[in-house]
Chain A
Amino acid sequence: NAGVMQNPRHLVRRRGQEARLRCSPMKGHSHVYWYRQLPEEGLKFMVYLQKENIIDESGMPKERFSAEFPKEGPSILRIQQVVRGDSAAYFCASSPPQGARHEKLFFGSGTQLSVL
Chain B
Amino acid sequence: QKEVEQNSGPLSVPEGAIASLNCTYSDRGSQSFFWYRQYSGKSPELIMSIYSNGDKEDGRFTAQLNKASQYVSLLIRDSQPSDSATYLCAVNPPMFSGGYNKLIFGAGTRLAVHP
Contacts and interface: CB of A to CB of B under 8 A. Distances in A.
A42 B31 contact: no
A104 B44 contact: no
Interface string B78-107: 000000000010101001101111111111
Contacts, number: 68
B107 A109 contact: no
A48 B102 CA distance: 8
Interface residues of B, number: 29
Nearest to B4: A42
Given A91-B44, A107-B45, A45 B100 contact: no
Interface string B1-31: 0001000100000000000000000000001
- Among A55, A104, A110, max chain B CB count under 10 A is at A104
Contacts of B105: 35, 42-44
Interface stretch (A13-21, A64-72, A78-86, A94-102): A94-102
Interface of B: 4, 8, 31-32, 34, 36, 42-46, 49, 51, 88, 90, 92, 95-96, 98-108
